[in-house]
A = this chain, B = another copy of it.
Amino acid sequence: MTAVIFDLDGTLVDSVYQHVVAWQAGLRAAGIELAVWRIHRRIGMSGGLLAHALLREAGRDLDDATLRRVQDVHREEYLARVGSIRPLPGAVELLGYLTSEAVPWTVATSGRLATARPVLDLLPAPGTGLLVTRDDVSRAKPDPDLFIEAARRLGQPVEDSVIVGDSVWDLLAARRAHALGVGLLSGGYGRDELQAAGAYRVYDDPADLLDHLDEVGIRR
């Protein structure tokens, strides 16, 4: 029995670009200009780590109040755009299939519940009490805590789980959890970046993964 743990943004819902634009607005509010592609490459980390990493790239250091302001503006700008977000192709079908086959699955996201909730509502819900967000652990990706907690809630060993994500940070965290990481291109990363971060396999999107579940050992 293989459990499946999914990242959310860029993996199940098409929300990465909205996050990118919202982070850019947050950074601008703190007087920091960073090119969009650099922000994109940091999406999927915890918000705090992401803000720190971006500030490092910008050669700046910020006090805690400004850092909170960056995160607050990100949240507001993201929520203002959340209505344009759709599930990625195959996401609803893939989760439905796993449920119908009694494969244990859940979602573990670096985002806070406040930003994750509106897009989670577009998908079949994980079982009661199974969802793991940034609010549930003290360290988010690339630390493995989110995935370890998700496996614990599923009652499955994390080492035997498949972790599906679109970002380098998902795959690094999967390796640190001794789990099998599967990459999806649907978050906008290149295939080589995901492979270099340790992806066991890379697929286009949830629909493509659903077509190849046998390759990753997911079965009833």
Which residues from 160 to 181 on chain A have a C-beta closer than 8 Å to any C-beta of chain B? Answer: none
A74 within 8 A of B: no
For chain A, give the interface size range: 20 to 34
| Contact pick for A189, options B24, B84, B187, B190, CB 8 Å | B190
Contact of A14 among B35, B86, B188 (CB under 8 A): B35
Q: Find out whether the CB atom of B16 lies under 8 angstroms from the CB atom of A185.
A: no
Closest to A13 in B: B35
Given A21-B21, A192-B191, A186:B14 Cβ within 8 A? no
A39-53 contacts to B, CB under 8 A, are 40
- Is B186's CB under 8 angstroms from A35's CB? yes
Instruction: Name the interface residues of A60-93: CB closer than 8 Å to any CB of B.
Output: 84, 86, 88-89
* In the assembled complex, A33 has its CB within 8 A of some CB on chain B: yes
Q: Please list the residues of chain A having a beta carbon within 8 angstroms of any beta carbon in chain B.
A: 14, 16-17, 20-21, 24, 33, 35-37, 40, 84, 86, 88-89, 185-193, 205
